[in-house]
Structure 1
Amino acid sequence: MKNTIILSILLLIFIFNTEAQKSAEVISIGEKVTFFSKTLNEERRIWIYVPDQTSFQKKIEKRYPVLYLLDGESQFYSTVGLVQQLSQANLNSILPEMIIVGIENTNRYRDLTPKVNSTPFITFLEKELFQYVDEKYRTAPYKLLVGHSLGGLLTIDILTNKPEMFNAYIAIDPSMWYADEQFLNQTISQLPKQKLTDRKLFVGIANSLPPNVTLKNVSKDKSSETRHIRSILKLGDFFSKQPNKGIQYKQNFYENENHNSAPLLTQYDGLRFVFDFYQSDLSEKDFQDSTSLIVTKLRNHYQKVSKGLGYSVAPEEEFINYIAYDALGKKHFSKAKSLFILNLENFPQSNKTHAAYADYLAATGDIANATEFYEKSLQIKDDKAVQQRLLTLTSKGMTLTESDLIQYVGQYVLDDYKITIVLELKDGKLISKVPGQADSEFVPVSKDVFTVKDKQGYNITFHKTNDTITGFTSVQPNGIFKATKKS
């Protein structure tokens, strides 16, 4: 009996664990990939995060700025969390979504300390890693470098000697004391000679002050204990005294953070500084307003964003559709139209933007143009939902009486083919008879405009002279055909 109870308990535990394993779901925020570096003559591993991994909506065509992260194995998780929070979570768009490339160390001291002539690790970044990332991922032409401690030193060194490698730099409590400040002095002497247009640098300074030493008097202290912070403050003094050569510089002192706790706050403040142009100033009033003023604000804002990033950026297609449909539902037609057109301008190859504009046209009674835009949407990409909306629209069409339809009845000759088409009334419907083809019904969609029942892509417009039908033009999938009515 006792053994039976024990076996039963073990069985229950096994079943419970099995069910728990079945219900477990892996949370993934990135991947580790390895490739061989010819420059460094070794395998290098990088940690990669792409926004699709944490987004509810995959954007298969979108390209992203790239944040390159030194000491990747220790900084990756916090950096991903920070960027995701400020670019995706809670509908935030304080930062742009971006790819994060964490570079794992193999020989940290070798790689992150600058060399007098050339630094192989910098060559690896510029000639190999950039190319690898650009080939494998959907990158935009904007790069940001983040480095801590020795990584911060290397960050400043790259800015000094190769400022064009990155658009922006964040140096976290950088080790500017290294090599008796040799590379700090090199920065002070060489950086003024560089072209730094549109570059940004943010420096975070941890509190490594010993007791009884303050920021005001630390420059007088010559002990090794203050060497680290003195060297960073010397860098800050250099930037504060330099005329503006295109670079934007900012530094923060974190009184309550030490060397190892400073990275998170520095990255937060640094990213906010680097992308200070990105967050829009749209208010709740703008969304509620019935006019199209919001479109003007959006255009102006994304012009600023495009200038800040150095390439063309448009508001998210889904976001514009959302507020456009909201305006349409409230019958703010001018606002809705401007928003739908904005999406068409920015995403001319999207089937969704064409279908959305067709929805607006249908809602405002422009059946002919609604039909045209539904058909354009389907030409870009077949979609059952759009097919159904088009079918519903063309089936409903306009209601014309026989006395309305009688004006279209008659014989028409195709101009280029001399084929006679006969239009006649049958059971209150306008029927087309073409030699060698089955009869078709012309369905009115607006004044003097018809489509063909159960056929996609047909738009037939009748022409008049002195209110008398003289012919028609048929735009259809196999071409454009003109016909003249026989007198």
Structure 2
Amino acid sequence: MRRQRGFHLQTNRSGWLKSTELLIVPAGPTMHRRTFLAATSFIAGMSALRAQPDMRLRAKDALSEAHSPTHRFAQRRFDSVDGLRHYQVFVAVPVTDPPAEGWPAICMLDGNAAFDALQQADLDRVRDLVLVGIGYEEGRNDPDTRDLDYTPPFFLNGTTFPADPPSTEKAGGGDVFLALVAERMLPDVAKEFSLDPARQMLWGHSYGGLFVVNALFKRPDLFRSYYAISPSLSWHAPLMLHAEDVSKRRAMGQSELVVLYEVPENTPGDERRKARLQRRQMMFDEMFERLGARADIALTQRAYPGENHGSMFGVGLRAALARGVPK
């Protein structure tokens, strides 16, 4: 049974719905895991500090290569501007004719893993939605590439925000990747598959969730809905609080922001982990307070006790599919 607390609901002058809620949701069953292909073996050994989801980089068994009674599948390839990174975009399009305004769409980061996790039962729930998985060309992904693409620049307004502990990862290319998504990927996919520009969601987990929040701050009109799962908001903290300070506002109406996150269990005696979790929660609390007070954002936050960082990938994916894209 769900318990709800701290719910606030109102409409602003423009008539848009503004809501802020905190829901405590019991943990669901553990996400089913299939045998990893050899191409993913090195991911399994990466530290959790790399903020990686449970990734399957070769979507060989995904529905994208199978028949579905509800959707047809396509793949498109894109390159970074410098030609060094290569992306595979997976698309699932309803088999019926699109509405006059075009299809609403959910655009998912870590697209290889997202499409590999899809089942026909998931597609049955989104018969009127296009799913777009923004992934990496098969066999070319590595943690450094993902870290670079999904993390925002940590130099902001003349200040460099250091990592704690110091990081050796290649990072800070999020704005460049966001430009690629906004100016090349989305326009091409939208034109070819008849997407409704007013009803699109950006979804991401972990570093992908960090990218989603950064996208909201940098391009609030690009998507109608921003869906962040266990976002790594404490990365280079307090960077994202300063990013919120100088963030852009939506031109009209509200951006929907949904943040879903796990509630880690305390480990007795692990003081370093406890301190890290406390800093994380402080960052979340401050960010939620700020975003909940903004007239241009409709914020929903949900905590999932008993889930962990990896399991939230599947939990968050199916929560987004169930919610859909608001009008």
What TM-score do the two structures reach when normalised by structure 2? 0.61
Alignment of 1:247 onto 2:304: no
Q: Which residue of 2 aligns with 1:114?
A: 152
Alignment of 1:102 onto 2:133: yes
Counterpart of 2:149, as a letter, is D
Alignment of 1:262 onto 2:302: no
Note the C-alpha offset of 1:174: 0.2
Counterpart of 1:263, as a letter, is F
2:236 partner SS: helix
1:160 partner SS: helix
Residue 114 of structure 1 contacts residue 157 of structure 1 at CA under 8 Å; is this kept in 2? yes
Distance 2:247 2:98 in 1: 40
Residue 125 of structure 2 contacts residue 322 of structure 2 at CA under 8 Å; is this kept in 1? no
Q: Identify if the C-alpha distance between structure 1 residues 146 and 79 changes in structure 2 by more than 3 Å, giving closer, same or farther.
A: farther
1:163 partner SS: coil
Greater helix proportion: 1
Q: Which residue of 2 aligns with 1:155?
A: 212
2:233 partner SS: coil
The 5 Å alignment of 1:163-178 reads 163-178=220-235
Residue 75 of structure 2 contacts residue 89 of structure 2 at CA under 8 Å; is this kept in 1? yes
Root-mean-square deviation (Å): 3.0
Note the C-alpha offset of 1:182: 0.6
Q: Which residue of 2 aligns with 1:218?
A: none
Greater strand proportion: 2
Distance 1:122 1:40 in 2: 16
The 5 Å alignment of 1:296-315 reads 309=327
Counterpart of 2:255, as a letter, is R
Note the C-alpha offset of 1:40: 5.3
Distance 1:113 1:77 in 2: 23
Distance 1:205 1:127 in 2: 30
Higher relative contact order (CA 8 A, sep 6+): 2
Residue 160 of structure 1 contacts residue 194 of structure 1 at CA under 8 Å; is this kept in 2? no
Note the C-alpha offset of 1:79: 5.1
CA offsets 1:166-204 (integer angstroms, 9 cap, x no match): 1101000000011123123322x1348554623101000
Distance 2:322 2:239 in 1: 31
Distance 1:274 1:177 in 2: 28
1:180 partner SS: coil
Q: Which residue of 2 aligns with 1:133?
A: 189
What TM-score do the two structures reach when normalised by structure 1? 0.43
Note the C-alpha offset of 1:249: 0.8
Q: Which residue of 1 aligns with 2:94?
A: 51
Counterpart of 1:72, as a letter, is G
Partner residue of 1:233 out of 278, 285, 305:
285
Note the C-alpha offset of 1:150: 0.5
Note the C-alpha offset of 1:270: 4.2
Counterpart of 1:130, as a letter, is L
Counterpart of 2:276, as a letter, is S
Counterpart of 2:109, as a letter, is L
Partner residue of 2:263 out of 188, 203, 207:
207
Q: What is the aligned length?
A: 230
Residue 39 of structure 1 contacts residue 124 of structure 1 at CA under 8 Å; is this kept in 2? no
Q: Which residue of 2 aligns with 1:75?
A: 114
CA offsets 1:249-278 (integer angstroms, 9 cap, x no match): 111000121111113333444455564xxx
Partner residue of 2:123 out of 84, 92, 117:
84
Unaligned runs of 5+ in 1: 1-24, 53-57, 89-96, 214-220, 276-307, 310-487
Distance 1:80 1:235 in 2: 34
